[in-house]
Structure 1
Amino acid sequence: MKMNNGIKCVFLGTLLAICSLAVQAQAVNFPHINTTGYGEVLAEPDMAEFSVQVVMVQESAEQAKQKADQVVDDFLQQLQALGVPREDIKSGNIQLLPQMHYPKNAKPEQKGYRAVRKVKVTTDNLDMLPKLMDTALKSGVNRIDRVQLGVKDPSKYQAIARSEAIKDAQLKAKSVAEGFAKTLGDVWQVNYQAAQARPMLSRTMAMDSSERANSYQDTTIVIKDRVEVIYKLK
């Protein structure tokens, strides 16, 4: 059954009125205080991820693919020889693209093919990072992306940060209530959204092994949390 415009307008108006009444019914109509608590904890990284890229340009697509695959295979073998488990190594599919040349005042022309493969490595041995990246470069890898430092069990640190946020909200609410000669009552509402599941810290790769090794020392990750609470006032 079709509805004419008049009936649609009446229906929409009724729906908006019902929604408005529902919002008003949930409004806080008693003395209260709204506070936001913040908490954070410092964690030492115990794992890292880094990605590398192999880019090869050859006259034919087949040649470019073979060169890229050869570098990746060599890199994977060396990683496993260094004790990196195969499940901690993820190699992506190859991408084959025409290699274009754009001369000035002339039409673009194709100059062979470009093959690209990516490899992601995860390790829980931070002392091995410089050696792993040097191994990548010696294998023929063209690019090492940023290293991401993290923690294997972020939920443990997140729980501590959450607890600190709750304490912070309680202390703020109690202090403000006492400042106005009021007594803090029961919690009326809590608004909480979980933070990111896996905190990571990106670091740019240093130029040589000694600098890279030093750049991972005394590094900490700040894990934060927050909670919003509405307390009743007596």
Structure 2
Amino acid sequence: MMARGWRVTAVVLAAALIGWFGFGRGGEGIAKAESVAVTANAAALNTITVGATGSVKVDPDVAYVNAAVETHGATAGEAQKANADAFAAVEKVLYDKFGLSKKDVQTTGFYVQPEYNYTEKEGRKLTGYTATHSVKVSYRKLEDIGKLLDAMSAAGANRMDGVQFGTEKADQYELDALKKAMANADAKANVLAASAKRTVKGVINIVQGVSTPPPVLYAAKELASASADSAGAPTSVQTGQIEISASVTVQYQM
């Protein structure tokens, strides 16, 4: 009986020892997990994230003229024929007088539609047809934009829908704006870090955001006013400037 009791005691003791060592290993794993979490939190506490923008103002280098030729006729064929003749005169001015190439003159719409008159007595009555040929003209000699508008109108472009001023060097100017945005981000990060008695050690991550500005626009009403104010002189249109902006969000290591 004594021997059997000893064996039971030994088994219990062995089980206790195994449980103890197993717990020790498990505790070590928990400690490692906590250490990783603390390290990650410390890394997060040692970063700073700022947002910044940069912009450049540039002179436009291209004008986009939106105009149309509208003609009327008793039949669709008459309206279309009159439109073709008038538009040919406009093209001649653009190509011969101002030296534009085919790629700079783009048709944006062409349609022929009926016109009706409404009366209580007769109801709806067909009165004729209207043909419209809309065009977008790209012009780069901006100092002569007023002369171009006047010449187009005189040739038969009887509807001016507006002029947009833009730039064909947007990619180049965007890089300049991004440089300014990064410089502003660096300045912000250094000020914030210094306020916390820390120093910026490097960049961890950069996210770029670009704002593409709408071109400077002169609507049809403004063009009509400019033409009326010129009183015999070429239509006066001021090109203004274009502002191109870029933004960045930068995460720094401190």
1:1-234 map, 5 Å = 29-82=44-97, 83-103=99-119, 107-196=123-212, 200-204=215-219, 205=223, 206-208=226-228, 209=230, 210=233, 212-213=235-236, 215-216=237-238, 219-233=240-254
Based on CA coordinates, which of the two structures has the bigger radius of gyration?
A: 2
What TM-score results when the alignment is normalised by the length of structure 1?
A: 0.78
Counterpart CA distance in 1 for 2:243 and 2:176 is 12
Show structure 1 runs of 5+ residues with no match.
1-24
Deviations 1:137-195 (A, max 9, x none): 11122211221112221222111111000101111111111112222232222111344
What TM-score results when the alignment is normalised by the length of structure 2?
A: 0.72
Q: Which moved more, 1:166-175 or 1:81-90?
A: 81-90
Show structure 2 runs of 5+ residues with no match.
1-39
Q: Is the 8 A contact 1:43 1:222 kept in 2?
A: yes
Report the residue type matching 2:156 in the other structure: G
Supply the RMSD in Å over aligned alpha carbons: 2.4
Deviations 1:50-72 (A, max 9, x none): 01111222221111111111111
Counterpart CA distance in 1 for 2:214 and 2:171 is 10
The number of residue pairs the alignment matches comes to: 204
Q: Is the 8 A contact 2:67 2:162 kept in 1?
A: no
Change (3 A) 1:68 1:174: same
Partner-residue secondary structure (3-state), 2:156:
coil
Task: Give the share of equivalent positions with the same residue, in percent.
Answer: 24
Change (3 A) 1:185 1:114: same
Counterpart CA distance in 2 for 1:105 and 1:193 is 62
Q: Is the 8 A contact 1:65 1:94 kept in 2?
A: no
1:103 Cα shift? 3.7
Deviations 1:183-211 (A, max 9, x none): 22322221113443x86211242224547
